[in-house]
Each structure stands twice: as structure tokens, then as C-alpha cells.
Structure 1
């Protein structure tokens, strides 16, 4: 190398590296006889659908049917509960009847007379209570036959109670018959303190449910 000559050595890349070739378009190789390449969407299945379960031959589409009813039973219905018996508003009234007179030691009959003033027929049983004066004793048989002697009233004599079934129509009457015997020591005169009462669930007016009665004691003829 001659003196005085400046030689510049450039550390450079090879010349082939200085100019990078431009990217070339991809070359598509097509097989003879094949269709041109294309971008196709992936095969899709048909849209999802909800299909009914297979139907048995001869059976129509599924429907909601009511449960089979028992033979002879109609469709269910809501029926009101049976109403309880209601009072008939039958106004019961005691009519005063004094027993026939009797001698000491003799017998007579107390007639407890009850009438129905209406407006309806009695729909419930009713009870007749007979209170006897002192010195008088009840003696059966009684009418009705279920009459019972209850005991003594604190201020009077014995008490007899009789029951009657429903069905007394308006304008009709019922009578309890209570045979009694007078004490032999009773003086002649009037025995007071007896009474007849009626009690019933159908009765709207109790102002006429009680009446008193008297028993007349007659003296026996001398030597009789």
C-alpha cells in the first residue's frame, strides 16, 4: 500500500444484505382440475330447534287432560255446607187451665195446655215444666210418657218436666197431663203456687210462656 494514501475500510455488510428484496406475493399452487381456493365458512348445522317427543301412532298431540273422574261422579264443584236448622219463630203460649176440684186425699189432673201462635211450625223440641202447690203429689202414668218428676221446688211442691217433639203447627196445641193426689190433711180452700211454663228454641216471645193455676180443695161430706 503506497504511503500517504488514506484507505478507508468500511465495515459494511455484504452487498446482498444492503438491498433486501421486496416481499414477493405468495405464489398459489393450484392442482390441475381443482377449484380455485376460496375461504368458505365452516359447515353449519341447521338451527337448533326444540322438537316434541315422538308421538305414538294413533295418539294426537300431547294435551293436558283432567284426571279421570270416578264412575258416577260429576266434575268437582264447590257446594255450600248444609245449613243448620234455623228456629221457626213459633210463638208458644201457655193457656191457664185450673184442675178440677178435689177432696183431701183425693185425686185430680193438672192439664198443662200449650198453644202455637205461629207464624211457623216448631222446628225444635220444646219442654213443659209443671210446678205443683205444696201438699200435692204427682202420680203417674203421665202424658206424654217421658214426663219426669225432678224434685221439690224450694218455695212450692214437686216439679214435673215433659218434652215434646218438633212439628207443632200454627194454631195447634199440646197438653201434658199430670195426675196428682192431695194430702189427706189439707183443709178446704184454694191451693195456690202451682204453675205451667213452656221453653222452646223457636219461641221469640217469652212474655206468655208461664201461667199459674189453683187447685180447689173441697170438704168431704160428713160420713162419706
Structure 2
């Protein structure tokens, strides 16, 4: 049987299968991309909830920075007693090592475990019997990604009985996100999510956890 060239080019048999074979990988990649980016958005939202919870816990519980409660309590210059504490008077930045050991730097100095309360850091990370911690909201969070800063921003006054009134900033730094489907299809690697942070004004210094 001889088929003319014109009839061969007009023949539509199997065209749908060819079209499906071409379109299916693109549609599948698009669908799985939505899943991956949806999960990334979920982690971003969970991270923001985690820093909000961490800031609230840091606000109402024992400070991680051991030296913070004594800041502004004493003042040798009696003319300053009761006057506002200038911004920048103190600045404590507390983080943790890869092993989860907490440390705090004072005024930009070295981060030292001796300056930090491990129990306070763990309470913010893990939570307390009455409050969920950062790890509860973002299970993939590790301690070394958490940063807690207590800084003077012009609030409070010298020799205030309740202690200093710091501005507390809790942030998540360098949190990785690993693509699952797109890593296999398109070779997407691990990305570092943008920093997430939440700021709160400190309340009276506590000696217990809520």
C-alpha cells in the first residue's frame, strides 16, 4: 500500500500522544514547583511565628544575658538618678554554637558562654510548660540560627527598681531551605532564607520562666 506524501502530512493519528508527551514534563514541573514553593512559604510563615513567640518569651522571662538585669541599676552620678537611659548604653547579642551552647557578646565583644544563661536560651527555643517556644513553630530550626539581642534604645531611667527596659529583637539567621521535587527535576540546591525577626519592649526583669 502506497501512502502519498500529502496524506502522510495530513494524518493526525498519534498527535495527541505526542502533544501530551511534550506538555506533561512541563506541567509536572510546574505542579511540583508549586508544591515546593508552597512549602517554602509555609516555612517562612512558620519562621515568622517562631520569632514572634521567641520575642514574647524573651520579653517576660529571665534574660539570656546574665549582666542585663544589673544595667542601669547603679549610678554613681546622683545628678543622673531618675533621668532617661541614653540609647546605646548597653547592647547584648546572644547566640548559640552548632552544639547548642549559648553565649552572649557585650557591646560588640566576643561571644562568651559565661555571659549567657543556657536555661533562658533553651526556654526561648524549646518553650516552657505554659508557652510554646520557637522550635514548636519551626521544627527544623536549630539553636545556632537563633539570635537574641537586648539593646538600650532610650527607654527606662537610671536606678529603675524593675531594672533596665531593653528593646529585644529575636531573629532567625541563615535558615536553609532544601527543594525536594525541583532539586531532582531542575537541580535546585539548598537556599538560605532571608532573616526573620520580631522586636518587643522588655518588661521588668524576671527571675523565673512563665
TM-score, structure 1 as length reference = 0.24
Which fold has the larger relative contact order, with Cα–Cα distance below 8 Å and residues 6 or more apart in sequence?
A: 2
> As a proportion of its length, which structure holds more helix?
2
TM-score under structure 2 length normalisation: 0.25
